[in-house]
Structure 1
Amino acid sequence: MRRDMKTGGHGLLGWVAGISLSVIVLVPFVFIVLQAIFPDLGRGSFAAPLVHLGRTVADPRLLHLTGNTLTLGLGVMLGCVAIGVPLAVARALFRVPFALVWDVLFLVPFMIPPYIATLGWILSMQPRGYLQQLTGINLGPLLFSVPGMVLIMSLNLFPVVYFALSRTIEAVGTRYGDVGRVFGARPVRAFFRVTLPLAMPGLAASLLLVFALAIEEYGTPAALGSRFGFQVLVTGIENRISDWPIDLPGAAILSLLLVGLSLVAFLIQRRILAGRNYDTVSGKPQAREKRALGALALPVTAAFALVAFLATGLPILAILATALSKTISGGLKPSNLGLQNFVEVFANTGGALQALVNSLSLGIATALLAGGLGAITAYAVVKGHGRGRLALDMLAMLPSALPGVVVAVGMILAWNQPWLPVTPYNTPLILLIAYCCILLPQPVRYASAAFQQIGDNLEAAARVAGARPFTVFRRIMLPLVLPSLITSMLLVFAVASRELVASLLVAPVGMMTIAGFIWRQFEQGSVGLGMTMSFIAIVLTTLIPMLLIAALRRIAGGRFTGLH
């Protein structure tokens, strides 16, 4: 009987999670598949299946788009290796001056949305941009090229490799390399033959994640690639649903191809992480003492400073300089600087304040919805019993392999059907569902890790005492995972508040978000207003989570040590 109660309680929450995930995640994905198979699905017809597939596959532009996508993804991987690996090795093995400062500065690119950072680079390096005004050097030809795009995206994504590899090498320690040196290996040979192979799983997994993030990114290819005719799958999908004639079947087919590439990278990453782990069995703690850099201290510090400036300092300075400029043509002159753009934003010029309120409201709502659904899903997967756990876990993780543009296409196809009596399409609810679908894996991962650390005895004791299953979840399990859950919800809030591609493609008519406002201002030539909104968005979506974490730690003390 106790077994039935336990299974029944978990089963109820599992059904809630399953139905919710089906509506948010599965239905849009299924409609993408159906649209790819049945080109006349929008008219309610299942005639001529796969007819459009042949035409799309035979289109020479498909090979071009796919080749460009792979070129970009592989190029960014190599760029992240060139930037992140040397810095990570130095950080892990040597006493780098101001090491914690560099760590903080390398985190900032995660806080700056890629499309905003790219706009900052455009303002800096374009002809008569800030760089040419200050130094006379024109790097416009480099910027508007494939190597330039790869460089910018590498500077945005290299922290993935830097943090993963540096922490992995620190965990491996220097003992094994020292043993190799005792047996006659030179330091470089010991590193490449011993230390680096032990850290290879972390490096390979981080590079595959970089590849997936690079091929899914919309803002940088759309902002830069359009200037020199470089189209990738993401921009090709957007063109098919935004330019006349609308090609929904083609967009669906390209979406499935992009999902396939992302899923392959994701599965390889999971295989590497699951299949190659190294554990110390000697029973002794690893030596964490790092070596001095000696004569290399100055050049290594200069390298860290250069990368920090290019990845963090330059985009922020360009954004702030543009926000403070009265006119772009006026240049970087004291007479051209002022707070006029900030005044216009707070005066709601072009609907700026309303866009800010809309995005912050959607960010809060997404954090609450994704956090609640993530907690229920994680509880059903980790603590539940039954065959549905694996399917529920796969469904919760499916958005990890769905680029934002694919989610947007799925939302359009699923909720814009003429036979639907009620639909969230063309309402703010469609944005909330899209954001939740894109960001749901974050709270699921955090909550799952927290639930796995909680033994079954607490839950069993509560049920013996007569507590109902939902009461056990609400009064015992949820408070224990709340610190980790709040951390993930703050991350969801920060990302949702400035999400770009879904905001552009599925936002209801007349509703503006932060990302949409910035993008539209650049298209219309009001660059100052766009960069002002960018600066305000970065400050708000960075400071609000940090202040909330600090406040919760101060109020609740040790109970919120999980917030980090």
Structure 2
Amino acid sequence: MRSPGPVVWGAAFALVVLVLIPLSFIVLQAIFPALGQGSLSAPFTRVADVLTEPGLLRMTRNTALLGLGVVAGSAVIAVPLGVLRALFRVPLAPLWDILLLVPFMIPPYIATLGWIMTLQPNGYLTQLTGLNAGPYLFSLWGVVFVMTLGAFPVVYFAVSRTVEAIGGRYADVGRVFGASPFTAFRRVTLPLALPGLMASLLLVFAMTIEEYGTPAALGRQSGFEVLVTGIDTRVSDWPIDLPGAAILSLILVMMSLGAFLVQLRILSRRSFETVGGKPQAFHKRPLGVFAIPVVAVFALVSLLAVGVPLFAIFATALSKTLSGGLAADNIGFGHFRAIAADENGAFQALLNSLGLGAATALITGLIGAATSYAVVRTQFRGKGFLDALTVIPNAIPGIVVAVGIILAWNQPWLPVTPYNTPLILLMAYCCILLPYTVRYANAAFRQVGDNLEAAARVAGATPLTAFRRILLPLVLPSLISAMLLVFAVATRELVASILLAPVGMATISIFIWRQFDQGSVGLGMAMSAVTILITTTIPLAVTLMSGRRGLM
């Protein structure tokens, strides 16, 4: 371990600019309401006003209800499926795993728009069956339903992998002592899987209360407002209320951070050992007469989580007019041609997002590698604080990051500012997505022995040269994987884009959102289809190319 060098100081500077400054300004703005005018007078005067507003309790309650509702729905769907996948020979099991990964590839707001096209009055469900589910969709339970279908795979994969690692031998011991299959599962297998299950459910809760697109698209039409949409209203609608937005942001951060800390506590304190030194053979049981019903359940869930949104997205994108409905003579590629022709700035928005996504992946990759090197392989005062700065964005909702950046870089006394330029979007994306590359790089650096760097130093290499020539190539495969994930998420990021995009600049998410607001639904869905294809095929192609070259 060596003292910090230029790599460490560069990482520290980047984290201060991207994470610490925006978060600090949120706290300062909440305390000093006149901060934007350069005054620190009347501290805490807005805190009492905001906390006593009648709508705050309702928004906080709605946020908690939404989070708990999605957690309950995810558990109801994912736990039985995950247990079946882990303990039994489910027909076509790899296919179901692949299909249940697809919701991660569809941005939540795009999936929501697909459900709107399906269930709204005279939507695809009405055209096919005559049923009208519009009143149900635009309600609390409609929001819970749509968000559950996007979130439950987190729990499914956690449960299936955890229970599979546990196996069935402990439950078999309970059976020997007279327990029924259900009792053995309830008293033995489920408690052993509880840490992984609870951690995944808490992660779903944090994801839900941070999500902007679905509550904004569905909840507002029924008067269902949550903290995220309340923050957006205070920042976007006149009169602008930055102190109120900062206070609501801190409340949301505390809720999200509370769930995140409980998750960490469960992972670190509630683990039960189920694997000894000797490997145990585990043979999954056949389903027998239940094989067909189980396959039917997997197929139904896959249809709802994957089939319906994708069908709605591509059906709308290929429809010449919405009024023409699902008819063969209404199918065409006009909306895709309009994107290629840059109609309404569509192609430029696509290029903007691809450029920002690539730049975000590159910058977060460099910062992640430098920060992980500093945390894992050096000793210096403040290393724990630097590591904490890389974790904080995990617990900060994207809308809070956007508010913090507005407050930090829109101050009138700043001589130069990135505000109202594309750089401000890049800074927001890097802050939100930096934890992905840091965690991947941390794990990779811990696998590299100290002797390689020491040998380079003995041969006369400087710390920077040893990092660049020895360590970075060794962690590059893990770093590329993280950067691909960052690229896929950054190209479709919604809430920070809406709040921070410079005047006249559009991204993919802004373009889609505006097309729905303006009634050009087909064009918006065509862009959604292009987004899904790009964020799936480009990372896959890069992964395959890297694998052939031996990088991954």
Question: What's 1:114 paired with?
Answer: 108
2:269 matched to which residue of 1? 275
Contact 2:59 2:227 in 1 (8 A): yes
8 Å CA contact 1:36–1:52 kept in 2: the answer is yes
- Structure 2 contact 15–389 (Cα < 8 Å) conserved: yes
Q: How is 1:308-327 mapped onto 2 (pairs within 5 angstroms)? A: 308-327=302-321
Deviation at 1:224, TM superposition (A): 0.1
Pick aligned residue for 1:202 from 192, 196, 199? 196
- Shift of residue 417 of structure 1? 0.6
Aligned match for 1:328, one of 322, 336, 359: 322
Taking a change above 3 Å as real, the CA distance of residues 538 and 281 of structure 1, as seen in their structure-2 partners, is: closer
Correspondent of 2:38 among 25, 39, 44: 44
Equivalent pair of 2:316/2:522 in contact (CA under 8 Å): yes
Q: Which residue of 2 aligns with 1:261?
A: 255
Q: Which residue of 2 aligns with 1:126?
A: 120
Q: CA deviation at 1:288?
A: 2.6
Alignment pair present for 1:7 and 2:16: no
Identity level (%)? 66
Given the two structures, how large is their TM-score scaled by the length of structure 1?
A: 0.97
Q: Tell me if 1:164 matches 2:158.
A: yes
Among candidates 288, 292, 297, match of residue 286 of structure 2:
292
Tell me the residue number matched to 1:235: 229
Conservation of the 8 A alpha-carbon contact between 1:42 and 1:418: yes
Kindly indicate whether the alpha-carbon contact (under 8 Å) linking 1:11 and 1:384 is maintained by their aligned counterparts in 2.
Answer: no
Gaps of 5+ in 1: 1-5
Q: Which residue of 2 aligns with 1:450?
A: 444
Structure 1 184/63 Cα, relative in aligned 2: closer, same or farther at 3 Å? same
Distance in 2, Cα, partners of 1:282 & 1:29: 44
Residue in 2 that maps onto 1:175: 169
Partner of 1:151: 145
Kindly indicate whether the alpha-carbon contact (under 8 Å) linking 1:175 and 1:287 is maintained by their aligned counterparts in 2. Answer: no
The one-letter code sitting in structure 1 at the alignment partner of 2:254 is G
- Per the alignment, residue 77 of structure 2 pairs with 83
What letter matches 1:403 in structure 2?
P
Q: Distance in 2 between matches of 1:289 and 1:458?
A: 42
What is the alpha-carbon distance in structure 1 between the residues aligned to residue 62 and residue 5 of structure 2? Answer: 46
- Give 1:345 deviation, angstroms: 1.1
3-state SS of 2:311 partner: helix
Whether the aligned pair in 2 keeps the contact of 1:367 and 1:489 (CA below 8 Å) is yes
Task: Give secondary structure in 2 for the equivalent of 1:440.
Answer: helix
Contact 1:381/1:392 (CA < 8 Å) preserved in 2? yes
- Cα deviation for residue 86 of structure 1 reads 0.6
- In structure 2, give the amino acid aligned to 1:41: L
The one-character-per-residue Cα deviations of 1:435-491 (angstroms, maximum 9, x if unpaired) are 000000000000001111112122222212221101111111111111000000000
Match of 2:54 among 56, 60, 70: 60
The residue aligned with 2:205 is 211
Counterpart secondary structure, 2:2: helix
Q: Secondary structure at the match of 1:63?
A: helix
Whether contact under 8 Å (1:497, 1:514) holds in the other structure is yes
Query: Structure 2-normalised TM-score?
Result: 0.99
For residues 190 and 13 of structure 1, what CA distance do their matches in structure 2 show? 54
**In the TM superposition, what whole-angstrom CA distance separates every residue of 1:469-527 from its partner, at most 9, and x where no partner exists?**
01111111111111000000000000000100011000000001000000000000000
Per-residue CA deviations over 1:254-286 (Å, capped at 9, x if unaligned) read 000000000000111011111122334643213
The residue that corresponds to 1:391 in the other structure is 385
Alignment equivalent of 1:468, drawn from 457, 462, 473? 462
Contact 2:166 2:275 in 1 (8 A): no
Q: Does 1:22 align with 2:16?
A: yes
Which residue of structure 2 aligns with residue 3 of structure 1?
none
Please tell me whether residue 370 in structure 1 is matched to residue 364 in structure 2.
yes
- 8 Å CA contact retained: 2:2, 2:377: no
Q: Deviations over 1:1-43 (max 9, x none)?
A: xxxxx533x3432221111100001100000000000001000
Letter in 2 for 1:393: D
Shift of 1:389: 1.5
For residues 466 and 193 of structure 1, the distance between their equivalents in structure 2, rounded to whole angstroms, comes to: 61
State the alpha-carbon separation in 2 of the partners of residues 277 and 465 from structure 1.
44
- CA–CA separation in structure 1 for the residues paired with 2:13 and 2:333: 50
The residue identity in structure 1 corresponding to 2:184 is: A
Asked if the contact 1:172/1:286 (under 8 Å) is kept, the reply is: no
Quote the Cα distance in structure 2 between the aligned partners of 1:7 and 1:449: 19
Aligned AA (2:345): G
The CA distance in 1 between the partners of 2:94 and 2:72, in whole Å, is 26
- C-alpha displacement of 1:79: 0.4
Q: 1:351 to 1:35 in 2, by over 3 A?
A: same
Aligned to 1:304: 298
Q: Does 1:501 align with 2:506?
A: no
Residue by residue over 1:364-389, the C-alpha shift from the partner in whole angstroms, topping out at 9 and shown as x without a partner, is 00000001000100110111112321
Q: Name the CA distance, whole Å, in 2 between partners of 1:281 and 1:440.
A: 33
User: Which position in structure 1 is the counterpart of 2:429?
Assistant: 435
Instruction: State yes or no: 1:138 paired with 2:132.
Output: yes
Residues 310-336 of structure 1, C-alpha deviations (whole Å, 9 max, x = no match): 001110000000001111111111121
CA distance in 1 between partners of 2:90 and 2:472 (Å): 41
RMSD: 0.9
Pick closer, same or farther for the CA change 1:281–1:304 going to 2, 3 Å.
closer
CA distance in 2, matches of 1:398, 1:508: 26
Given that 2:256 and 2:395 are in contact with CA atoms closer than 8 Å, whether structure 1 keeps it comes out as: yes
Name the amino acid aligned to 1:176: Y
Query: Are residue 521 (structure 1) and residue 515 (structure 2) matched?
Result: yes
The letter of the residue matching 2:364 is: A
Residue 472 of structure 2 corresponds to residue 478 of structure 1? yes
Give, in whole Å, the separation in 2 of the partners of 1:450 and 1:511. 37
- Residue pair 2:121, 2:133 contacting (<8 A) in 1 also: yes
| Paired AA for residue 241 in structure 2 | D
Question: CA contact under 8 A between 1:241 and 1:248: conserved in structure 2?
Answer: yes
Kept in 2, the 8 Å contact 1:174–1:287? The answer is no
Aligned pairs for 1:337-376 within 5 A:
337-376=331-370
Q: Structure 2 vs 1, CA of residues 281 and 170 (structure 1 numbering), >3 Å: closer, same or farther?
A: closer
Deviation at 1:48, TM superposition (A): 0.4
What SS does the corresponding residue of 2:238 show, helix, strand or coil?
A: coil
CA contact (8 A) 1:97 1:301 kept: yes
CA contact (8 A) 2:96 2:298 kept: yes
- 1:68 maps to a residue whose letter is N
The answer to whether residue 536 in structure 2 is matched with residue 542 in structure 1 is yes
What secondary structure, in the 3-state scheme, does the structure 1 residue paired with 2:326 have? coil
Q: Distance in 2 between matches of 1:156 and 1:242?
A: 27
Q: Which of 71, 81, 96 is the aligned partner of 1:102?
A: 96
Contact 2:5 2:463 in 1 (8 A): no
Q: How far does the alpha carbon of each residue in 1:371-422 deviate from its partner, in whole angstroms, 9 at most, with x for none?
A: 1000100110111112321101100111001101001101110011111111
Moved more, 276-285 or 511-520: 276-285
